[in-house]
Amino acid sequence: MVKNGHSVQTVCLDAPGSPLDERLCSSAVYLLGPSYLGYGFAPRLEPWLREHGAKYDIIIIHGMWTYHSYCVAKVARQLGLRYVVFLHGMLDPWFARKYPRKHLKKWLYWPWAEYRTLRDAHFVLFTTAEEMVLARQSFWLYKARERLVGYGIKAPDVAPAQARAAFLESFPELEGKRNLLYLSRIHPKKGCDLLIPAFAKAAEADPALHLIMAGPGDAAWIAELKNLARQLNVESRVTFTGMLKGAVKWGAYDVADAFVLPSHQENFGIVVAEALAWGVPVLTTYQVNIWREIKEAGAGIIHPDTQAGAGQLLSDWMALSPEDKSAMRVNAKACFTKNFEIETVTHNLLQALEDVLASKSTSHTFVGSFAIR
């Protein structure tokens, strides 16, 4: 946004003196923490907004369910400030199904706080069409001016040969293998426990097939997964790399025949966009909200987030001809360029903000009802 001539400043509730992400170096950053309790109450936020809020054309609220969104919306109503809300998947009904007690607590909070925050926002911003549809299903009391802007990443700027060499220097035993890559947090939500049995079955048909499990995670859960691989007699064919960064991370994509993420819920999936950017076909589930774009582009294979679905992802991939796999790699890169390259997404966001300034966001696009869904 700064490259497009805009001034962007960041307000966060970290305590003064906290280390900052290097990507914020071009922005003025105001650290108004510390925040307290699970709700993130920060007593310095409201006075700061009342003193400085009118200096800004638009406020972008990132996320919800903590004090910052309620506070900004309250002050904006009182002072006539313009604001939009970027949800980042926080109204996905998966959370209601997975954590019903938390959802009940949210209902006690919803009508007088977050419902009004979204209702009064000039736009509620979404990363995918799937996210926008799903957001309507969490609470019947829902009223929003919806706007799809997308989400994305910068295309990788490391040379493939350099990336591959960096990865194989750390994991030389994986050279020449037909590698399937999982790269994300090692977490039950990601379907890791579905992937290893699916891989064990697929590995019976291909002695060169290998699974790379890359990413950080809880030590106990990783131990369970390693034990599962041992029980299924594929321990030597599954490599847990830990967290990968920089050229080594991109090298993992480079040695991969396909990227596999049998997740139970992903609002977007940065790692999926990374795989597409590197031209790696994606094998994933309908619970990853960019599945429509992947399927439409012919950039991967989609199945349900079940044990059978995970197995089908791998069997469908192995059944493809070499020509079909090569075509899917080309489609993957084209899918990234069209949908997830950050310059395109920035243009969409700026257009939405310009429409707010031009008062083109007056009517609600979706109004919930009392009907039981």
Specify whether 41 is located in the same domain as 124.
yes
Specify whether 335 is located in the same domain as 348.
no
Q: Tell me if 2 is assigned to some domain.
A: no
Q: Which tens digits make up the pLDDT trace of 210-244?
A: 999 999 999 999 999 999 999 999 999 999 999 99
**Mean predicted confidence (pLDDT) in 344-368:** 87
Q: Which tens digits make up the pLDDT trace of 67-91?
A: 999 999 999 999 999 999 999 989 9
Q: How far apart are CA 193 and CA 169, in angstroms?
A: 28
Specify whether 191 is located in the same domain as 270.
yes
Q: What is the pLDDT of residue 186?
A: 96
Does residue 50 contact residue 81 with C-beta atoms inside 8 Å? no
Specify whether 134 is located in the same domain as 102.
yes
Q: What is the pLDDT of residue 26?
A: 64
Q: How far apart are CA 277 and CA 54, in angstroms?
A: 39
Domain holding 129: CATH number? 3.40.50.2000
Whole-number average pLDDT of the chain: 92
Q: What is the pLDDT of residue 124?
A: 96
Specify whether 201 is located in the same domain as 100.
no
Specify whether 320 is located in the same domain as 267.
yes
Model confidence, pTM: 0.82
Q: Tell me if 145 is assigned to some domain.
A: yes
- Identify the CA nearest to 211 among candidates 178, 187, 189: 178
Q: Tell me if 4 is assigned to some domain.
A: no
Work out the pLDDT band at 3, boundaries 50, 70, 90.
Answer: confident
Q: Tell me if 1 is assigned to some domain.
A: no
Q: What is the count of structural domains for the chain? A: 2
Q: What is the pLDDT of residue 370?
A: 39
Q: Which tens digits make up the pLDDT trace of 313-332?
A: 999 999 999 999 999 999 99
Residue 165: pLDDT over 50: yes
Specify whether 172 is located in the same domain as 238.
yes
Q: Tell me if 124 is assigned to some domain.
A: yes
Q: Tell me if 373 is assigned to some domain.
A: no
Specify whether 175 is located in the same domain as 317.
yes
Work out the pLDDT band at 97, boundaries 50, 70, 90.
Answer: confident
Does residue 30 contact residue 17 with C-beta atoms inside 8 Å? no
Specify whether 189 is located in the same domain as 301.
yes
Q: Tell me if 307 is assigned to some domain.
A: yes
Q: Tell me if 121 is assigned to some domain.
A: yes
Specify whether 92 is located in the same domain as 174.
no
- Give the domain extent around 121: 9-152+343-367
End-to-end CA distance of the chain: 39
Specify whether 133 is located in the same domain as 167.
no
Specify whether 134 is located in the same domain as 178.
no
Question: Which amino acid type is present at position 69?
Answer: S
- Identify the CA nearest to 53 among candidates 14, 104, 9: 9
Q: How far apart are CA 92 and CA 133, in angstroms?
A: 9
Work out the pLDDT band at 355, boundaries 50, 70, 90.
Answer: very high
Residue 373: pLDDT over 50: no
Residue 184: pLDDT over 50: yes
